[in-house]
Amino acid sequence: MSDIAVATGPVVEKRRGEGLTATALLAPATIFVAICLLAPLAFLFRYSLNDFVATKKMMVEAVTIANYVKFFTDPYYTTILATTVRIAVMVTAACLLLGFPLAYVMARTQSRFKNVLIILTVLPLFVGNAVRSAGWMVVFGNKGFFNASLQGLGLIEKPIEIMYTEKAVIIGIIAVNLPFMVLTLQSVIEGIDRAVEEAAFSLGASPATMFRRVLWPLAMPGILAGTILCFILAMNAYATPFLLGGPLFKMMAPLVYNQFTQQANWPFGGAIAFILMTVTLGLTLVANLIFQRRRAS
């Protein structure tokens, strides 16, 4: 009996010491994120339940869902939400289509330029959306590269209006999100054994069959992760619609900013922010569930 006590004594003490060390290591970061992220989100949600007196531009303390009701009953706002979802879906589909071949080539290449390929894909990610929008402005402006080239070739008489239309916004967001899709797919495809593909070929499968029956199912986790990431980013796009869509084009993220700074309507702005976040996460969850059910069956 006493032997056991002696034997377990130091072990217990060591455990307690470990617990202290673990807490000391993790607590600062956790407390910081809790104060600077969770508390603000809680406050924002509380604000979204407040009232707003438009005539005085003042927030009045209350507990009401009026802001949420206002959003969903006014077609002006529901149209903006619908536009945002539609654009996000189109952008995501385009990114998957464009991104898969590049991801596959990057994953399978033996070339020593593989790192260059990856840097070229990652670099635009970090350069910032405003700068990339500037690039599209140079391409699509009335005297821009696209119109000047077509006019120079005599294909069109008047410049085609692309800037400040939905087309420009979609083209711009695809370029912003494509690297995320490519990098996600690439890391998953790299994990698929090359031999599996070779096996399919040696059994007589055509490239199309191999893709449909082998590569696509095996890459599914990456396709799902990339699609979800791309969709979330497109839903929340700010700089691209702001710069390429012009003042009349509206998506959700610029709308939140507008309500906060131009209208000073914090309760409504907060409500829109939460609606944006909930719709995004909700659609993501639905996609996840559909995928899992398909897998199970």
Interface mask (CB under 8 A) for another protein, residues 66-95, using x and -? ------------------------------
* Cβ within 8 Å of residue 224, ≥6 positions away: 287, 288, 291
Helix (H) or strand (E) holding 51: strand 51-53
113 binds another protein (CB under 8 A): no
Q: Smaller CB distance to another protein: residue 79 or 109?
A: 109
Long-range contacts of 258-261 (CB under 8 A, 24+ apart): none
What single-letter amino acid sits at 184?
T
We find the least distance from the C-beta atom of residue 290 to another protein, in angstroms, to be 21
Cβ neighbours, 10 Å, residue 86: 12
CB 62 within 8 A of CB 51: yes
Separation between Cα atoms, residue 117 and residue 102, nearest integer Å = 10
Task: Map the footprint of another protein across residues 137-176, applying CB under 8 A.
Answer: 137-139, 141, 143-145, 148-149, 152, 172, 174-175
For the chain, how far is it from start to end, CA to CA, in angstroms?
A: 56
Number of residues that bind another protein (CB under 8 A): 88
For another protein, the closer of residues 34 and 65 by Cβ is 34
Q: Does 102 bind another protein (CB under 8 A)?
A: yes
Q: How many helices, marked H, and strands, marked E, lie in the chain? A: 15, 2
Report if residue 200 touches another protein, rule: CB under 8 A.
Answer: no
**Which residues partner with 51 through β-bridges?**
60
User: Nearer Cβ to another protein, position 89 or 117?
Assistant: 117
Compute the distance between CA of residue 56 and CA of residue 42 in angstroms, rounded to an integer.
26
CB of 273 to another protein, least distance (A): 5
Residues between 263 and 292 with contacts to another protein, criterion CB under 8 A: 266, 269-270, 273-274, 276-277, 280
The residues that bridge with 53 in the sheet, in sequence order, are: 58
Residue 128 three-state SS: coil
Q: For residues 174 and 20, give the distance between their C-alpha atoms in angstroms, rounded to a whole number.
A: 48
Q: Which is nearer to another protein, 71 or 274 (CB)?
A: 274
Q: Least distance in Å: CB of 27 to another protein?
A: 9
Nearest to another protein of 9, 135 (CB atom): 135
Tell me, rounded to whole angstroms, the distance of Cα 76 from its chain centroid: 24
How far apart CA 254 and CA 83 sit, in angstroms, is 13
Among 58, 119, 196, 199, binds another protein (CB under 8 A): 119
Interface of this chain with another protein, residues 20 to 39, rule: CB under 8 A? 21-22, 24-26, 28-30, 32-34, 36-39
Instruction: Say how far apart CA 102 and CA 221 lie, in whole Å.
Output: 17
CB closer to another protein out of 107 and 296:
107
**Segment near another protein (CB under 8 A), from 3-11, 64-72, 111-119, 287-295?**
111-119
Which residues 204-263 are close enough to bind another protein by CB under 8 A?
207, 232, 235-236, 238-239, 242-243, 253, 256-257, 260
44 binds another protein (CB under 8 A): yes
